């Protein structure tokens, strides 16, 4: 009888996910608790157990303008939908962003980090350059920023650092290398094992530089950004990503989303022209999503926002800050949420 009771108890624990079939503790979930400290091994993201780690989640919009979606309830909703990643975009400019008001940006950043970590999610701290196309323009400010954040969190296993969002304009790979050599040692002094992500020229689309001359550091990945035209019914071509993976380049897609191609409007134009009601073909993104799933590529979708534009996952008329249902999502949002797991 005692043996029968013991066997029944073990079966109940196994069914609840407390014990695995061999009787040892079983890791639950898909976040920091399950995966622990991340590393880049053989050009792929792995966890502390040496197993592949795939992060999928959202990027914020600029936190200086949309901090409301960094709340704990929002992170809980994302986690319940299957996400295990939040990317927090700290814009350097325009007015109101970090350079003009660093303390406000840091307040929002830390609030977002703590909210995501509390839900067992990984966090990308994104130094979001854009109009300042060469990251060296603000290298001093970037070094101070990353020194402060990395010192605050030490070598917390849940934090990844994206040192430059979208280098663009005349910026060459040599410029990014010079910037990386300035900023990466600052992060490494406080967080020696953290995974560091870096952008590449032409808005994170030109990978010739890192293929020929990769950065001389461990635990480095290169960021791809991809926006897929959904104005015409034509599946996207994921060939660039596949070729880079085949060449052994460690890729993290820190931004992907949809666009209306040459007709992509501003928010004001969209409202005036009624383009929110335009038929769009979000399924065009499926080949890219399927390749990322097959090759275990981590990603963050742009953006967790109700801004009236094609890139938002929340409807512009949705006033909810968490607990979203499918009725609150755009067509793009439904696609993203369906692919978290």
Per-residue pLDDT of 234-260, as tens digits, reads 999 999 999 999 999 999 999 999 999
DSSP string, 106-148: HHHHHHHHHHHHHTT-EEEEEEE-SSS-SGGGGHHHHHHHHHH
Q: What is the CA radius of gyration of the chain?
A: 21
Instruction: Read off the pLDDT of each residue in 105-131 and give the average, rounded to a whole number.
Output: 98
- Look at residue 21 in the predicted model and tell me its pLDDT: 30
Across all residues in the chain, what is the average pLDDT? 90
With a cut of 50, say whether residue 22 has pLDDT above it. no
Task: Clarify whether 255 is annotated catalytic.
Answer: yes
Contacts of 288-291 spanning 24+ positions with Cβ under 8 A: 288/226, 288/228, 288/236, 288/238, 288/241, 288/256, 289/335, 289/339, 290/238, 291/238, 291/241, 291/242
pLDDT band of 203, cuts 50, 70, 90? very high
pLDDT band of 206, cuts 50, 70, 90? very high
pTM here is 0.90
- Look at residue 269 in the predicted model and tell me its pLDDT: 54
Strand 39-41 relative to strand 44-46: parallel, antiparallel, unpaired?
A: antiparallel
- Please give the share of the chain, as a percent, with pLDDT higher than 90: 85
Instruction: Read off the pLDDT of each residue in 266-272 and give the average, rounded to a whole number.
Output: 51
Which has more confidence, 19 or 86? 86
Q: Compute how many other C-beta atoms are within 10 angstroms of the C-beta atom of residue 94.
A: 13
Task: Clarify whether 33 is annotated catalytic.
Answer: no
With a cut of 60, say whether residue 17 has pLDDT above it. no
Does domain 28-338 fall into CATH 3.90.550.10? Answer: no
With a cut of 70, say whether residue 13 has pLDDT above it. no
- Please give the share of the chain, as a percent, with pLDDT higher than 70: 87
Which has more confidence, 272 or 243? 243
Per-residue pLDDT of 84-115, as tens digits, reads 999 999 999 999 999 999 999 999 999 999 99
pLDDT band of 224, cuts 50, 70, 90? very high
Q: Which residue has the tokens 């979930």?
A: 29
CA-to-CA distance for 97 and 72, rounded, in angstroms? 22
Domain ranges of the chain: 28-338
Single out the catalytic residue among 255, 272, 279, 283: 255
Helix, strand, coil % in the chain, rounded to nearest 5: 40, 20, 40
pLDDT band of 7, cuts 50, 70, 90? very low
Single out the catalytic residue among 166, 279, 290, 296: 166
Residues 105 and 98 sit within 8 Å (Cβ to Cβ)? yes
CA-to-CA distance for 90 and 106, rounded, in angstroms? 8
Q: In residues, how long is the chain?
A: 341
CA-to-CA distance for 314 and 35, rounded, in angstroms? 29
Which has more confidence, 107 or 263? 107
Q: How far is CA 196 from CA 16, 38, 279, in A?
A: 36, 11, 38
Q: Which residue has the tokens 């480095």?
A: 220
Task: Dihedral sign for Cα 245, 247, 249, 255, please.
Answer: negative
Per-residue pLDDT of 140-176, as tens digits, reads 999 999 999 999 999 899 999 999 999 999 999 999 9
Q: How far is CA 241 from CA 7, 206, 257, 329, in A?
A: 49, 11, 15, 28
CA-to-CA distance for 42 and 37, rounded, in angstroms? 16
Q: Residue 116 pairs with which residues in a beta bridge?
A: none
Exposure class string for 97-108: b at 16+ Cβ within 10 A, else e:
bbeeebeebbeb
Window from 10-19, 66-75, 126-135, 156-165 with minimum mean pLDDT: 10-19
CA-to-CA distance for 233 and 85, rounded, in angstroms? 30
- List helix spans (H) across 16-86: 32-35, 72-80
Window from 107-111, 206-210, 273-277 with minimum mean pLDDT: 273-277
- Look at residue 4 in the predicted model and tell me its pLDDT: 40
């Amino acid at each position: 009888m005692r043996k029968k009771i013991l066997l029944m108890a073990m079966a109940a624990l196994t069914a609840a996910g407390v014990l695995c079939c061999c009787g040892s503790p079983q890791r639950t979930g898909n976040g920091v608790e399950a995966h622990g400290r991340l590393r880049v091994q053989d050009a792929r993201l792995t966890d502390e157990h040496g197993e592949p780690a795939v992060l999928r989640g959202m990027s914020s919009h600029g936190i200086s303008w949309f901090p409301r979606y960094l709340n704990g309830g929002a992170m809980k909703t994302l986690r319940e939908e299957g996400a295990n990643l939040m990317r927090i975009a700290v814009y350097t400019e325009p007015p109101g962003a970090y350079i003009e008001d660093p303390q406000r940006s840091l307040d929002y950043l830390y609030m977002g980090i703590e909210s995501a970590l509390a839900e067992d999610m990984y966090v990308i701290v994104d130094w979001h350059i854009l109009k300042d196309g060469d990251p060296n323009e603000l290298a001093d400010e970037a070094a101070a920023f990353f020194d402060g954040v990395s010192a605050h969190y030490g070598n917390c296993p849940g934090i990844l650092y994206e040192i430059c969002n979208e280098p663009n304009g005349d910026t060459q790979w040599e410029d990014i290398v010079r910037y990386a050599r300035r900023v990466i040692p600052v992060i490494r002094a406080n967080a020696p094992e953290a995974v560091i992500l870096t952008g590449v020229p032409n808005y994170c689309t030109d990978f010739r530089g890192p293929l020929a001359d990769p950065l001389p550091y461990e635990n480095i990945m290169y960021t791809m950004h991809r926006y897929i035209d959904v104005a015409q019914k034509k599946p996207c071509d994921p060939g660039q990503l596949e070729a880079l993976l085949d060449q052994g380049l460690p890729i993290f897609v820190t931004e992907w989303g949809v666009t209306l191609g040459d007709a992509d409007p501003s928010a004001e134009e969209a409202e005036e022209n009624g383009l929110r009601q335009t038929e769009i073909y979000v399924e065009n993104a499926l080949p890219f999503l399927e390749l990322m799933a097959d090759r275990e590529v981590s990603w963050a979708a742009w953006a967790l926002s109700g801004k009236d534009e094609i890139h938002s996952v929340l409807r512009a008329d949705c006033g909810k800050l968490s607990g979203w249902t499918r009725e609150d999502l755009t067509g793009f949002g439904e696609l993203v949420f369906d692919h978290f797991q």
